[in-house]
Amino acid sequence: MSNLELGIIGNCSFGAMVNDQGRIVWCCLPRFDGDPVFHSLLGSADGDARTGAFTIEIDGLKESEQRYVENTAVLKTVLHSASGSIEITDCAPRFYWRDRIFRPHTLVRRIAPISGNPRIRIRLRPQFDYGSLAPTITHGSNHIRYVGPNLTLRLTADAPIDFILNETLFNLEEPVNCILGPDETLAEGVGDTARMFEERTVHYWQSWCRRLALPFEYQEAVIRAAITLKLCTYEQTGAIVAAMTTSIPEAPDSGRNWDYRYCWLRDAFFVVRALNSLAAVKTMENYFRWLMNVVTCGDEEHLQPLFGVGLERVLTERTITSLPGYRGMGPVRIGNQAFEHFQHDVYGNVILGATQAFFDKRLFRIAGLDEFRRLEVLGEQAVRLYDQPDAGMWELRSRSRVHTSSSLMCWAACDRLADIAAHLGEADRAKYWHTSAAKIKAKILKEAWSDDRKAFVESFGGQHLDASVLLMAEVGFIDPTDPRFVSTVEQLDKLLGRGLHMMRYEAADDFGLPTTAFNICSFWRLDALARIGRKEEAREIFEAMLEIRTNLGLLPEDTNPENGELWGNFPQTYSMVGIINGAVRLSKPWETVI
């Protein structure tokens, strides 16, 4: 079983991960890129897996099972022992209260006996400063305070406080409630508060899912993917993180350990588009607001590819020595050097992410001429840089080329600006952007095509294949029936395909040749196969990809194509986007079944 059998809970303010034995092993506060007060997913300084975790143990554990309450982010874990069984219900409260969304930095854990005479132990061991600092602990009759240098957590519980402080094994004869959050006194009793938080959170998520425009097939997979993408949004600013974790390696002992707890403009566009396809447009509205802040605060001569969730521009990468890493496979990194990169596809990603806001009549505030003018500045950058070397979407650290995928997105920037200009009645600007898009397209078709490889290649004048060129059809650059695209799909299939999986590229990168398949590439592949008429083959790959998900329906960044083991940061928004896109592409239409 994968070590990534983790349930995700959250409320669009922070997130936490619960393993299949009911242990919270990852939770950063006060936001996604904050200090991991629970960090045992990446080990602990003292080597004890219970340090940096919130553990609820059953004496004599024999087996466990885990599921979500249907159509919610509320998680239930059942632990069985010879003497009895318990059920743990976990959630991060999220619901409407006083005409606004209530999303506190709070974890609710409800523990109930369901059979026999179970005995349990509650171990609560938060740490601060990436596991290097134990808290100062104080307590009262019904609460325990865990005091750190910049944050104090308060646990309020109706279990005996002495039992929690001393990690004592005790009989669970009636339900126990634990609320961990800010250092504030609860307005009501802990039992009533925990029950109310859970019930209202269940209602919120089920109501949200009810409004989704689902495909007929694969609904359960799509709902779980949509909830997961929603959980990766930082609602306060509109940012969307690429994943909730840092430093889970792309492959064993590879050193490919990166911090993904930030907002990549590229990844966020794909998230927004996937949710838009399900009619979940509120995320787009929030993200558009985020984009307008990015455009306003950015450097007109250079737009960096990622930001902190609070619009932080400097994300200096450094190594943390206090944590040994996932399964002992360090290093643990925070920050990400990619903020310094030149990745020219970012201009297209921003404009693509904003385009629907100019056309969608459902929005409270439809974008107009002022926003268009701001985006035109980025379009001019796309025109200037589309044939200039950059680090590319795979963020190569030691070389630069004129990457086809970057040029493609520069084309998309101009193409969509032309559409927006025409919609706004700006005929001269529409003509200008159409002309710019045509110029870029002609250059790509000439320079990125290789007669030798019978395919579009990863860079102008290059010879290596790269799965990112499959985006040509997805963004409307080329008719998928064009013989050049069909040939490209066939060549990529032969060279980069590994069973149902697909590698990113054939050339070695800064760390050598990758050994794991990048999950989104497998979804791009099946999308391309469906577009060129090989729909049944695409369906087989898609359904096989659904089978490799965790028991709870989640995916990280990478998969070992030889044994199916999951690797990489988790949950990876790119991968969850692939589930939605694949289902929408392949599902039977509702009209054929009703």
pLDDT tens for residues 539-575? 999 999 999 999 999 999 999 999 999 999 999 999 9
Q: Quick check: 1 pLDDT over 50?
A: no
Among 6-15, 389-398, 451-460, name the one with the lowest average pLDDT: 389-398
Q: With a cut of 80, say whether residue 310 has pLDDT above it.
A: yes
Q: Are residues 140 and 44 in the same domain?
A: yes
Chain length of the chain: 594
Instruction: Examine residue 273 and state whether it is found in any structural domain, yes or no.
Output: yes
| Residue 302 pLDDT greater than 50, yes or no | yes
Output the pLDDT for position 298: 59
What per-residue confidence (pLDDT) applies to 2?
Answer: 62
Contact 97, 106 (CB under 8 A): no
Residue 163 amino acid letter: F
C-alpha 127/C-alpha 132 separation (Å) is: 7
Residues 109 and 225 placed together within one structural domain of the fold: no
**Residue 379: pLDDT above 80?**
yes
C-alpha span between 180 and 91 (Å, rounded):
11
Gap between the Cα atoms of 360 and 370, Å rounded: 17
360: left (phi over 0), alpha (psi -120 to 50) or beta: beta
Ramachandran category for residue 143: left, alpha or beta (phi over 0 → left; psi -120 to 50 → alpha) = beta
CATH number of the domain that 122 lies in? 2.70.98.10
Q: Any idea what the Cα angle at residue 477 is, between residues 468 and 370, rounded to 5°?
A: 105
User: Does residue 186 share a domain with residue 133?
Assistant: yes
**Do residues 473 and 467 lie in contact, with contact meaning Cβ atoms separated by under 8 Å?**
no
φ, ψ for residue 66 (rounded to 5)?
-145, 140
Cα 472 from Cα 477, distance rounded (Å):
5
Would you say residue 102 has pLDDT above 50?
yes
The whole-angstrom separation of Cα 50 and Cα 36 is 14
Q: Which two tokens stand for residue 340?
A: 């310094």
Alpha helices in 178-264 (DSSP H): 190-210, 219-231
| Same domain membership, residue 137 and residue 194 | yes
CATH code of the domain in which 423 resides: 1.50.10.10
Percent of the chain whose predicted confidence (pLDDT) is above 70: 99
Within this chain, do residues 202 and 220 fall inside the same structural domain, yes or no? no
* Cβ–Cβ < 8 Å for 105, 88: no
46: closest CA among 292, 257, 414, 322?
Answer: 322
- pLDDT value of position 541: 97
Is the distance from CB of 250 to CB of 256 less than 8 angstroms?
yes
Band of the pLDDT at 114, cuts 50, 70, 90? Answer: very high
Instruction: Kindly tell me if the per-residue pLDDT of 497 is higher than 90.
Output: yes
- Domain of 173, in residue numbers: 6-208
Mean pLDDT of 85-102: 96
Residue 593 lies in a domain: no
Q: Please tell me whether residues 182 and 245 are part of one structural domain.
A: no
Rounded to 5 degrees, φ, ψ at 267 are: -60, -40
Task: Flag whether 56 is in a domain.
Answer: yes
Residues 24, 8: Cα–Cα separation, whole Å: 10
| Gyration radius of the chain's alpha carbons | 24
Shared-domain flag, residues 533 and 574: yes
Last residue of a domain, one of 173, 208, 243: 208
Q: DSSP per residue over 265-316, as a string? A: HHHHHHHHHHHHHTT-THHHHHHHHHHHHHHHHSBTTB--SEE-TT------
What's the CA gap between 270 and 312, in Å, rounded? 21
The residue from 208, 225, 255 where one domain ends is: 208
Return the ∠ at Cα 506 (arms to 504 and 511), rounded to 5°: 80
Q: Could you tell me the two tokens for 203?
A: 């209602």
Identify whether 1 is part of a domain: no
Half-sphere exposure in the Cβ direction for 371 (13 Å, CA): 22
* Per-residue confidence (pLDDT) for residue 396, from 0 to 100: 84
Tokens of 366: 């439809």
Judge if 171 and 294 occupy the same domain: no
pTM of the entire predicted model: 0.97
Torsion, CA 579, CA 584, CA 586, CA 589, rounded to 10: 150
Q: How much helix, strand and coil, in percent to the nearest 5, is found in the chain? A: 35, 25, 40
Q: Can you read off the two tokens belonging to residue 135? A: 């808290």
Eight-class DSSP state of 390: B
As a whole number of Å, the end-to-end CA separation of the chain is 39
For the chain, the average pLDDT equals 96
- Same-domain status, 180 and 246: no
CA distance 404 to 416: 18
The answer as to whether 594 is a domain residue is: no
Note whether residue 239 is domain-resident: yes
**pLDDT of res. 593:** 78
Q: Which of 146, 178, 208 is the last residue before a domain boundary?
A: 208
- Residue 78 has phi, psi (to 5 degrees) of -110, 125
Mean pLDDT value of segment 517-532: 97
171 and 56 assigned to the same domain: yes
In a domain, 466, yes or no: yes
Cα separation of 557 and 394, whole Å? 13
SS3 call for 501: strand
In a domain, 284, yes or no: yes
Q: Is residue 9 within 8 Å of 18, Cβ to Cβ?
A: yes
**Helix (H, G, I), strand (E, B), or coil: what is residue 207?**
helix
pLDDT of residue 375: 96
CA–CA dist 341, 344 (Å, integer): 9
| pLDDT, tens digit (0-9, with 9 covering 90-100), for 224-281 | 999 999 999 999 999 999 999 999 999 999 999 999 999 999 999 999 999 999 999 9
Rounded Cα gap, residues 265 and 238, in angstroms? 12
Give the model confidence (pLDDT) of 157-200 as tens digits: 999 999 999 999 999 999 999 999 999 999 999 999 999 999 99
By CB neighbour count within 10 A (0-12 exposed, 13-18 middle, 19+ buried), where does 461 fall?
Answer: exposed
- Report the relative pairing of strands 75-81 and 84-91 from DSSP bridges: antiparallel
Distance CA(61)–CA(70), nearest Å, equals 26
Name every residue whose Cβ is closer than 8 Å to that of residue 166 and which is 6 or more positions away in sequence: none
Structure tokens given for 67 = 């599921």
- Average pLDDT in the 444-451 region? 98
Same domain, 25 and 59: yes
For residues 132 and 271, state if they share a domain: no
Structural domains in the chain (count)? 2
The two tokens of residue 592 are: 């054929």
